[in-house]
Amino acid sequence: MSATKPSPLKTLDLHGRTVDEVNDLVDVFLRKESERGSARARIMTGKGKGLVQKQVIDYLKKARYPWQFDKTPDGRPNEGVLVIFLE
In this predicted structure, what is the pLDDT of residue 7? 61
In a domain, 70, yes or no: yes
pLDDT reading at 59 higher than 80? yes
Our count of domains for the chain comes to 1
In a domain, 38, yes or no: yes
In a domain, 48, yes or no: yes
**18 CA to centre of own chain:** 16
In this predicted structure, what is the pLDDT of residue 52? 96
14 contacts 52 by C-beta, under 8 angstroms? yes
pLDDT reading at 18 higher than 70? yes
For 61-73, what is the mean pLDDT?
95
pLDDT reading at 25 higher than 90? yes
Note the pTM of the prediction, 2 decimals.
0.87
In a domain, 33, yes or no: yes
In this predicted structure, what is the pLDDT of residue 87? 81
In a domain, 72, yes or no: yes
Quick one: pLDDT band at residue 46, thresholds 50, 70, 90?
confident
CA dist 4 and 11 (Å) reads 21
The whole domain housing 18 covers 11-85
In a domain, 5, yes or no: no
Q: Residue 47 belongs to a domain with what CATH number?
A: 3.30.1370.110
In a domain, 77, yes or no: yes
